[in-house]
Structures are given as C-alpha cells and as structure tokens.
Amino acid sequence: MARVVTKYVCSSCGYQSAKPLGRCPNCQAWNSFEEETPQAASAGKGGGYGGVRGGKLTALSTVGRREEPRTSSGLPELDRVLGGGLVAGGVTLIGGEPGIGKSTLLLQVADLVARSGGKVLYVAGEESLEQIRLRADRLGVLGEIELTRDTRAEMIAAHMDAERPALCIIDSIQTVTLEDSAGVAGGVSQVRDATATLTRAAKETGTATVLVGHVTKDGTVAGPKVMEHIVDTTVFLESVGSFRLLRSVKNRFGQAGELGVFEMRESGLVAVENPSAAFLAERPIGVPGSVVAATQDGHRPMLLEVQALAARTPYPNPRRVVVGLDARRVDVVLAVLERRLNLALGNLDIYVNLAGGLKVPDPGLDLAVALAVYSAVVGKALPANVAVFGEVGLAGEVRTVQGTLRRAEEARRAGYTRLVMPPGMDGAEGVRSVEDALGVVWQGVKGA
C-alpha cells in the first residue's frame, strides 16, 4: 500500500511544512497551518501508469486559431490593464487592501456591462444585498444586476450554466465553499478547489469572471499561490494619495505590467486620462531641487517630479533620506557627484523625494536625481521646459534605458520642449555624461 504523506499548509500564504508550526516562517502569520492529506495514487491493474490508460493526443498543427471575444468594461483605464477588455471565459483575480475600492470599481463595471445589454451575476459573499443597494444608489447604478448571497461554488457554477451571464463577479473568493473540499471557507483547500471549479465553469460557459481576493499584510493575495496560477489575469489595486493604481502582474490575454490610474471621488473611481498632468499639478515652478523626470512604471510612461533638498548637517554623519526611489541607486548618484564633479556633500544632509507618493525603482531616474541634487546644492532652478531621463554609471556616464521612445513622446506631449537624455534620438539634447547634462541645462553654472 502506498504511503500517504500528511502536510501542513499556511492558510495565509500557502507555505507548506511537514509539521504544524505556531508561526509561518514565510508570512509571519500565527496559528495559520491546516492539515492536508493528499490521496495516494494506486498502482491499479490492466497496464498503464497506475492503471490509467491513455487520453487523446492532438497535433499542434491541427488546432484551430481563435481570437477570444472581448467585452469592454466601459472604463478605458481598466481595458488598458486587461489588454483590451474582459475576455469571454477569462478569469481575473483582483487584490487590494480593505477599503481601497475593489467592490466600488467592480460594481461600476457591472453597471456599465449591464447597461450595454450584457447579463451580470454578482455574488455577494461579504455584504448584504441591502449594503450593495446603498452603494449602487451612491454610484448611480442603473443597470439590472442579478444578485445572490449563495457562496457555494457548485451553485455559482449552476447559475453560470443556466443564465450564461456576460460577467460574473465574486466578492470574495475567500467566502466561497466547495462541498467536496476539506477545511473551512477561506482555507487553503477551499480557496484552491473553489477557484478551480469556478474557472472550469467560466471556460465552459464563456463567462468573464472576476474574483476578489483578500491580501496579506505583505500585500500579496491571501491563499495558496496556486490560485494565481489557475486564473488568467491577476491585477492589484494600490493607493497613492488620492489616486488608485491598477497594476497587472499576470495576463494571458495581454501584456503584463500595464498600469491604470484612477481617482477616488464621491461618484466612485474615475479614470485619470492624463496621469502626467495629475502628478505634476502641484509642482512648484522656479524652485531649486525640482526636476521633471520621464519615467516608465511597468509599460506606461509618465512624468513625475523628483525633488531634492540639501541642508547643512548638525550631526557627525550626514543624513541621506530617500522616499519613493531606490535608496541604493541614489547613494550611487551621490557618490558620482562627489567623485566625478567634485561636489562637496560631506557636510550636507541630502533629502530626495519622488513627489506624489509613488514608488518607482526605475534606473532612468538617476539623471533626474543628479540634476535635482546639484540644483539644490548650488541653489539654481532648472528651466521650466526641461524634462530628463537616463541611467548614471559609476564613471559618470549617462546610459540608455528601456522605453526611450515612449518616455520622449510622453514628455513632448506634455509640452516639455527640451529633453535631456542619452544620445541616439533625433530632436533631443543627447548627453554622454552627467557633466555634459549640467552644461546643457545650465550654461556656465558649474562655476557658480
């Protein structure tokens, strides 16, 4: 008889252990381990592996080509992140902190799909139907949406088979249970098996399905990691000040890394058509230490403000405070300024900030950091029509970065007529070193 091995799985992150642990070493959750006993495979009789005889094989050349039909969500920024819209039979997992606006966004999408003539099924696992009605009234929802509080996976699949809705929203997957699965709702086995069941139902009925997932304190989707492998698309909703960023980390029907920007208002989430203008709206003009940088977050180019402040330090060791940028890259840029340009920073506290609350680990922000720090130290502002980007090497050279054309086009579209960037593009002021960049931006300032 084959040996059955019992394993213990963390219900928060899916970490597996041979014995129960009081605290998960991966996500640090307490008392989160659940016992899971997999079924042992039997040897069987009648030949084959384990008694299983062959399934059908299909040659790739005989498989037909078919484009999956898409339905617009009604929100251009969401369609951008999804790669063009909701895919029939596609399953999307959306994660985000509690109260960030996931349910609000999905209710808006449900309304827009229903208004366009599509049937919508909304599974409310965490709220009462009356609570959803109150939110719908606040958002001005007019479309006819079918609601249910039944969170049994078998019943949801039956509704999808009988009604054939264009869109099914399940809020949230942690509340869904499957009769044949072990554990309680929200447990590892339940979440994994329920996701597999609903995904199979979505494929069979051609229903675009959206699953809302809880997140852990580390910001990842709670539950087994295999859940993210089962679904077709995984997106996260993040909060940045008054804005909400929707970011795709996996997309079988489009390009991962796309970014959508929304603003939270009383009427719900409103798409921000021009994120560059929104993030630069409060930028002070003519202030030393402020530089407009053309960056790329995922695959989306944006203009952001890099700020720097230099102040004489009262401490034996000067402070280096970095917000929103890679602190190690900023240290490299400061070392280049000291060594290659003889800029005295040893007795100064240096503060570098990416305005707006974003966190962008982009090497292309190096040149903007260098110019911002130099501007703060010498006390002279950059011209208002200058935008910069480029990676700074240890020799002080300016290197090319990914998405050069996209960054340059975004800067020109926003009205920045002077681009200081690595050489190689027509119409731009290409520079080969940080020293060249200073000479292009400020003629003769170096002697100040």
Omega before 172 within 30 of 0, i.e. cis: yes
Residue type, 228: E
Rounded average pLDDT over 253-260: 89
The confidence band for 447, taking pLDDT boundaries of 50, 70 and 90, is very low
- 435 Cβ partners below 8 Å, 6+ apart? 340, 341, 396, 446
- HSE-up (13 A, CA, CB side) for residue 190: 21
**Mean pLDDT, rounded, of the chain:** 87
Rounded average pLDDT over 279-299: 92
- CB neighbours of residue 412 within 10 Å: 15
Angle at 345 between CA 343 and CA 351, to 5 degrees: 120
In 3-state terms, what secondary structure has residue 290? Answer: strand
Q: Looking at the DSSP assignment, which residues form a beta bridge with residue 265?
A: 268
What is the dihedral sign for C-alpha 132, 137, 140, 142? positive
pTM of the model: 0.81
Distance separating alpha carbons of residues 401 and 359, to the nearest angstrom: 18
- Residues 445 and 438: beta-carbon distance below 8 Å: yes
What does the pLDDT look like over 337-396, one tens digit per residue? 999 999 999 999 999 999 988 899 899 999 999 999 999 999 999 998 999 999 999 999
* Strand order, beta sheet including 429-430: 320-323, 348-354, 300-312, 290-297, 386-388, 418-421, 429-430
In 3-state terms, what secondary structure has residue 2? Answer: coil
Rounded average pLDDT over 148-165: 95
The confidence band for 445, taking pLDDT boundaries of 50, 70 and 90, is very low
Can you give the pLDDT at residue 444? 36
Rounded average pLDDT over 252-275: 90
In 3-state terms, what secondary structure has residue 106? Answer: helix
- Residues 54 and 48: beta-carbon distance below 8 Å: yes
Can you give the pLDDT at residue 388? 95
Q: Which residue has better confidence, 216 or 151?
A: 151
Can you give the pLDDT at residue 54? 64
- CB neighbours of residue 6 within 10 Å: 11
What does the pLDDT look like over 3-59, one tens digit per residue? 556 788 877 677 788 888 888 887 777 887 878 766 554 444 555 555 666 678 889
273's tokens: 């058509």
Q: Looking at the DSSP assignment, which residues form a beta bridge with residue 290?
A: 307
